[in-house]
Amino acid sequence: MSQEVKIIGLKVNEQFGILQSFDCKFNQENNIIAIKARVGEGKTTLQKSLKLGTQGSEALKDDKLLYGKVDQEVELLDGNTRIFVGSKTDSNGKLDYSIYTKDESGKKIKEPIIDGVKATPSSYLKSLQTALNWRMNELTSENFTTQRNILLELYSDQLEQFGVIFDKANVLYGESILGRLDKAIQSRTEADVLRKQVGGYKHILMDQGIDVDNESTIPKSINIQDSLSQEQKLIFNISNSSEGAENRKTDDLRKISLQKDELLQKLREYNLEVDGFNNSERQKVAENVSSTKIIRDKLNEIYTNVKFLTSKGVFDNEEILIETFKSAAVLPGEYVPTVKNKIDLDNLIVEKEELPPHILSVFNEYVSLNSVYKETQNKTYETDVDSLKSELDTLRRQIAEDREVNKTVASVQSFIKWKGCEKQVQEIRKEYAELLKNVNTGVSGLKICFDESDEKMNIYLAYNGEYDSDYFNNPGLELRKLSSYSGTQKPMICLLVQNYLLGLKEKSMRYIWIDDVPIDNKTRSLLNEMAEKLNLTVIINITGDFTQESLDSGDIFIEGGEVFFN
């Protein structure tokens, strides 16, 4: 059992809605706090005031302006420590919260240390309670969205552990089971739209003799692009019969020309090679001439020097010296170049014997194609329009048949795709149902369920009345939706849920507010008995003609905006 924090007082310093200022103390020993008044006397306003001090500003999020200026404090007993939570509107109308204790003189001690931590109003209050403390009517609502939202809050930790995330803004939503289910449903929707467009339904296909489970009955897709191109060509040739013949001639000439260009390129490359070879030979001749000239010039220089020296008496016989130098000098022989002939591509003239075999083959083929090209230029093409029309009719019938086959194939494929998507959706839904069944609600016989056949996937609580099958009128322990139980039975189930959830906390405010439920003496007695057994405090609204003198211990009575308590 978690440590209990009690609500022991509510002080309203300024008029709050219909209620005049008051200072109310609660009997700590009572498990039932009954707020009694006639219709419109302020029961709901008092509820708002109490929620404001224990739940926070969420209590007024939908009707902030309805209650005017706020100035109040709630007194809590946390063990032996009195904790105060104040709420007050500032000059700008903003609601400020504060948490504090008081010394013996009543002086406020702000930001108290509670359980070793500096407390803030929001974190402290949130740690003490569940969403069920003040919102029991949401859990028992017949509105699936309302019930789902509070279930998410109450069991979010367990659900997230099982991969169930409801918040689509959560970064983990896409990979969660609901995110996967969203994607699968979207894919199925897209596949269904497509099959509706192409008639991808099993019964329609069966009428055509196609069993989608028997591959041998399913036709193969046919590529009709070539046929469509041929159709356009025939249409053009028929519409322009003479032009059609000329176009065929142009096409033939173009094909021959492309072949010729390819061969001509090879012959040009050969001519470039011949140019390169001939240039190399010419270079060798030039180098030979240059070398011979250098040697001759050197010899002439020597002869001149010998004659000069002889004239000076250095040598006796210049002829002998000159002959000696001539015999010693070696002149290179004259280089005779090899010259290759290029192919005359304009006149197609060449010494064929000089061509390498592979070039000769190209040359001959090029010459042959030239002749074919000239013959084709001079050839007359004729057009048989009747024959073309007959060919077009036959082709169109074939295209129509092929299209029908392809339509059937598309229908089959769309059905198969949809079927696969549907299977994936159902598998994920079953997986989801199993996950929900594994969530421990903390109440024996209470399960989180959803209707697998319902595309909206609304989750809800179902209970078998196990706690007291006679009271819940369920002797067979049949699992029934929580919303199907009576107005007086629903709170009893919520008490069981609240008892479990608060028991998970180290410290808790063990309260639950019951509103809009008919409470007679028998029901109140049963509530009191159950609340005492579970150590829960139940706050209830009771509408009727009451007087201050008729109040039971712990009851609160409201009349004319004034609050009285016993």
Written in H, E and C, the secondary structure of 61-123 is CCCHHHHCCCEEEEEEEECCEEEEEEEEECCCCCEEEEEEEECCCCCEEECCEECCEECCHHH
**CB neighbours (10 Å) of residue 303?**
14
Q: What is the predicted pLDDT for the residue at 210? A: 87
Between CA 340 and CA 344 the distance in angstroms is 13
CA distances from 393 to 155, 229, 389 (A): 71, 14, 6
Token couple for 460: 């809800």
Tokens standing for residue 240 = 């322009």
pLDDT of residue 384: 67
- In Å, what is the CA distance from 304 to each residue of 298, 301, 310? 10, 5, 10
Contact partners, residue 72, CB within 8 Å, separation at least 6: 10, 11, 12, 13, 14, 16, 49, 52, 53, 86, 87, 88
Q: Is 382 helix (H, G, I), strand (E, B) or coil?
A: coil
| CB of 337 closer than 8 Å to CB of 281 | yes
Beta bridge partners of 135: none
The structure's pTM equals: 0.59
C-alpha–C-alpha distance, residues 460 and 446, integer Å: 10
Burial of 305-319, coded b for 16+ CB within 10 Å and e otherwise, reads ebeeebeeeeeeebe
Count the Cβ atoms, other than its own, within 10 Å of residue 516: 11
For position 241, what pLDDT does the model report?
Answer: 66
Distances (CA, A) of 353 to 146, 264, 521: 101, 19, 130
In 164-312, alpha helices (H): 177-198, 202-207, 225-239, 241-311
Neighbours of 199 (CB within 10 A): 15
- What is the per-residue pLDDT for 66? 53
| Residues with Cβ within 8 Å of residue 211, at least 6 apart in sequence | 205, 217
In the block, which residue shows the tokens 């000089």? 354
Q: How are beta strands 117-118 and 446-450 bridged, if at all?
A: unpaired
Contact 35, 566 (CB under 8 A): no
475: β partners: none
pLDDT 10s digit of each residue in the chain, 566 long? 568 899 989 999 998 888 899 898 888 778 888 888 888 888 888 888 888 888 765 655 555 555 678 899 999 999 888 999 988 888 877 888 888 998 888 888 888 888 888 888 888 888 888 888 888 888 888 888 888 888 878 888 888 888 788 778 888 888 888 899 999 999 999 999 999 888 888 888 888 888 888 888 888 999 999 999 999 988 887 776 656 667 778 888 899 899 989 988 988 898 898 889 889 888 988 888 888 888 888 878 887 887 777 777 777 777 777 777 777 777 777 788 888 888 888 888 777 777 888 888 888 899 889 888 888 888 877 666 778 788 889 999 999 999 999 999 999 999 999 999 999 998 998 888 888 888 899 999 999 887 766 666 677 889 999 988 988 899 999 999 888 888 888 888 989 998 999 998 889 989 888 876 777 777 778 888 888 888 888 888 888 888 877 777 778 888 888 888 76
What is residue 244's predicted lDDT score, i.e. its pLDDT?
62
Structure tokens at 172: 């983990």
The DSSP symbol for 344 reads B
Give Rg (Cα) of the chain.
Answer: 53
